[in-house]
Structure 1
Amino acid sequence: MAHSARRDSPELPDLSLLKRLARDQLIYLLEQLPGKKDLFIESDLMSPLDRIANVSTLKQHEVDKLYKVEHKPIVSISDQICFLIRPRIQTVKWICDVVNADKAAAKFRRYKIIFTPQKFYACEAVLEEQGVFGDVTTDEWAFYLLPLDEDIISLELPEFFRDNFLAGDQRWVRTAASALHLLHSLFGPFSKVYGIGRCSKMTYESWREQVEQGEQKARHAEIGNVFLIDRDVDFVTPLCSQVVYEGLVDDIFRIKCGCVEFGPEVTSSDKSLKVMLNSQDKVFNEIRNEHFSNVFGFLSQKARNLQTAYDKRRGMDIQQMKTFVSEELKGLKQEHRLLSLHISASESIMKRKTKQDFQELLKTEHCLLEGFEIRECISFIEEHINRQVSMIESLRLLCLLSVTENGLLPKDFKSLKAQYLQSYGADHLLTFSNLRQLGLLVEQQPGETLTVMESKVGKLVNDRAAGKLTDAFSSLAKKSHFRALSRKLNLVPKSDEEYDLRVPRDMAYIFSGAYVPLSCKIIEQVLERDGWTGLEEVTRLINGHEFAVTGADPKSKSEAQRIVLVMFLGGCTFSEISALRFLGKEKGYKFIVVTTAITNSSRLLEALLDNNI
């Protein structure tokens, strides 16, 4: 439909190998506890586990019953219990309670704890403190990477963002490095590694240590270039409303582990339906990267093509009918089912978005990105807060205003904060503290010269006029980093010419032609320049920790050189993935996106909420 790929695009490596490795290792660990056993699984591991080993696979390896970890006394009567958990102290303490309760009841069982993706010393220390270290055996399931599609791999670690960027807890850095090491050992050696951000630098250094300690095997590389990028390099992109189909489906229905649950309003029945969203779904694969305004046109065309294919059976003789039924009919029925699902999903999205006055919201976002009509934008945000439209949406708009303007004027900050707390509760004070710490919602610190100028202006004119002039002086006094980056990298295309969303000319199409995602623009520029040369001003504004390292055989002209692995530390949005796919098609690259988790504005902000005092 919208953009045709270059014919010389390289082939992607087979990522299903990662699934097979994870499955084999899990089976090996389960078999180390021979005989029938009950398996307790932490709730956020259930979906990833289902993608690796389903219930029948577990039953084949003597798993009798499956339970969800619920932090309460257990009902299992089995002599052997296996716990499959994340390395969290709270869960380990619960396991200690289970073991100690069994001891008190003189019940003898064998216990095995499998930590994934790795075990931390703190967890073993808890086992020791609680006096159960000798009663349990512990192991690691090195399940670092879950392929969600042929070009998306997730570590499924949503807590990485809060732990690393807010709490400053770097325990997951080694996990990210081990994931990179696994990819290097399967698909490397990598020719060039680029990166930007403090966490990226640490991940790279930890990975290099692992490479130097391990044995080096000469292999034919399948991935040539690697790019590591921290989420805090670009907060603007995840704060923008998504308008590509896959991004909208994620915003509204929440895609979890590559799977979405469509409710009765989509399925037109009283049941919900889980649907796997990947390139195997032919209908979804063709619309996932499309701007939503193009989706209905494509789906109606698809429906007409399908009808034509069905109509072919008229006038067939018996032999042709037999061939049609055995070869084509099943595929057509499957396509028909998927088509009606995506049409219903699109209608549901339309209904919700028209109810929320989506166009007005997008207009406000575009003004914030361009730096126009800021006063009108603030009025819109105030109305949004006072009408209590949505707690997260209001917070998102506040953060987008702050990040694009490099902080709010003190009087705006105080006023908006007071209105937010009145609307949504004073228990959000801690949330504001978290947002300030990350630089997502901050107050501008006026310079000394500005204050002198303001006092002079105040004496000359009345208060209201002074307020307007103060705004003007403040915006002059403190230039926003986003504005400077936007000009330097041309992130906001000129709005005087019409942007045809059916034939996108650059990555800005993912935001209706209003903004090129900063993260993707940096990747494009670095690949184009073969390093950071000429981008010194950009890295200074980002406060970068940038690096570019040449590894094995950089002059090689193999297909692998055009396969770029991009690792987002702290999460990545579907919009960014769509933008990179577009860039790959334009420039003849293929991108594989590795992310600590798929994120969007809601997940990002929910991770920073602290309103449960």
Structure 2
Amino acid sequence: MSKACTLENGVLNLAVLREDSRRELFSILDSIGKDICFVLDPELNGPLNHVLVDGTAVLKDHGVKDFHAFGKTVKTSCEFVLFLVRPSVRAMRYVAKYIRDLGTDKSASSKKRFHLYFVSRRTLVCDEVLKKEGVFGSLSVGEYKLDLIPFDDDVLTLELDSCFKEFYVDGDKTNLHTVAASLIKLQTVFGMIPHVKYKGTMAKTIYQMMAHFQREQEVAGNPIGVLDPEIDTVVLIDRNVDLVTPMCTPLTYEGLLDEILGITHGFVTVDAELIADDDAPNSGNRPAQVSVPLNSNDKLYAEVRDYHVERLGMNLQQQAREIRERYDEFRKNRDASISEIREFVKRIPGLKQSYQSLQQHINLAELIKKTTDSK
């Protein structure tokens, strides 16, 4: 089961975007068949966790029998093989290798049918690589528009980690189309955004792409964003407008977690002992490291994530004092009625969850302090 944010407390109903991505993926699978080997680009594993919040087991309901990741040997008896990838030369070479290996598998009972879907845009470069590898005619190609991914109640991401390098080092502007299309999608769902401000040449290009598409749709009689706008203003800023800030050490709790431990797809990976439940049995099967979700599902984290690190300790102490007082108050009340006891018992799961969350963040805060004090 995924620990992705429930998206229940946002100003915007971002769950609509998540559900749209789920439906599109299920539609792709249903259109292929009922005997599918799903081969996933590892770069998409994290983003998909925020779409398939019920876990990948739900894919079985849509024909997926085998599930593999790039980089590993793929052997399958499935008739259909689906590759879901980012558009990169590396991914295309993997796809070509798998097609050749599976296509020449003499133990297979039937001929394989290959399907390749790009997230979220197909490129000419990838087509050319597939042609040079001699496999372009062996598969059908499509696009899966997994663009705006809700990570939290107020956070949407495209997860395009290499776009800065592509823009300014490689001169590849392909992802500008992805950004513009995602903003158009946002307006289709939440209404036309009346005020758009931009800073930088890339931001200006995205604005022009959006405006051009909007004019085309109006001429065609299909205006976008006909609903009352739920977003008043969007601000587009080029990263190179401020290259200093990313080099500065942050002093907020969330900023230091990312600086020291690294937040990836809304999760931080730590040693299991760091967040172990003191009341849990000591099992030898416990993993060495675990992924901890950092989102608004955790009410304490939502409260303290932006605190200055010096303020954080005082707040956590206050939280611990309040939880302890709740328990002590009940213990002292020896004459509690049955209804009062029942009411306290109902509160125990919430108190236990609050205690576990508090203990987890105390441990993380101590780890941060040790690291910062040593530098």
TM-score interval w.r.t. the shorter chain?
0.7 to 0.9
Aligned to 2:291: 274
Structure 1 residue 244 displacement after superposition: 0.2
Answering whether residue 340 of structure 2 is matched by residue 332 of structure 1, we say no
Matched, 1:23 2:42: no
Please name the residue that 1:320 is paired with: 340
1:114 to 117, 123, 128: 117
1:39 equivalent in structure 2: 38
Q: Residue 254 of structure 1: CA displacement?
A: 1.0
State the one-letter code of the partner of 2:196: V
Give the 5 Å matches for 1:178-577: 178-214=181-217, 215-216=222-223, 218-264=226-272, 266-267=274-275, 271-314=288-331, 315=333, 316-326=336-346, 328-356=347-375
Structure label with greater radius of gyration: 1
- Aligned-residue offset at 1:279: 1.6
TM-superposed deviation, 1:103: 3.6
Query: Secondary structure of 1:52's match?
Result: coil
**RCO higher in 1 or 2 (8 Å CA, sep ≥ 6)?**
1
CA-CA distance at 1:73 after TM superposition:
4.6
CA deviation after TM superposition for structure 1 residue 129, in Å:
3.1
Return the match for 1:149 from 141, 148, 152.
152
TM value normalised by structure 2: 0.87
Shift of 1:137: 1.1
Aligned-partner SS, 1:134: helix
Shift of 1:274: 1.9
Alignment partners' CA distance in 1, 2:196 and 2:64: 42
Q: Counterpart of 1:608? A: none
Q: AA paired with 1:274?
A: S
Per-residue Cα deviation, 1:21-70 (whole angstroms, up to 9, x for no partner):
10110000011111121111111110111111121221221211211101
Is the 1:265–1:348 Cα contact (8 Å) retained in structure 2? no
Q: Which structure's residues are more often helix, by fraction?
A: 1
Cα drift, residue 165 of structure 1: 1.8
Task: Provide structure 2 residue ranges, at least 5 long, that are not aligned to the other structure.
Answer: 1-9, 277-281
Identity of aligned residues (%): 29
Deviations 1:581-612 (A, max 9, x none): xxxxxxxxxxxxxxxxxxxxxxxxxxxxxxxx
In structure 1, distance between residues paired with 2:339 and 2:73? 64
Amino acid at match of 2:99: V
What is the CA–CA distance in structure 2 between the aligned matches of 1:286 and 1:175, rounded to whole Å? Answer: 33
* AA of the residue aligned to 2:43: D
Match of 1:450 in 2: none
Unpaired segments ≥5 residues, structure 1: 1-10, 357-613
* Equivalence map 1:79-94=2 (5 Å): 79-94=79-94
Q: Secondary structure at the match of 2:230?
A: coil
Alpha-carbon shift at residue 134 of structure 1 (Å): 2.6
Do structure 1's residue 56 and structure 2's residue 61 form an aligned pair? no
CA distance in 2, matches of 1:111, 1:312: 65
Shift of residue 100, structure 1, vs aligned partner: 2.5
Instruction: Count matched residues.
Output: 344
- Name the CA shift for 1:161/1:130 in 2 (closer, same or farther; >3 Å): same
Distance 1:130 1:259 in 2: 37
Greater displacement, 333-342 / 306-315:
306-315
Alpha-carbon distance change, 293 to 265 in structure 1, aligned in 2, over 3 angstroms:
farther
Q: Distance in 1 between matches of 2:57 and 2:257?
A: 30
More moved, 317-326 vs 224-233: 317-326
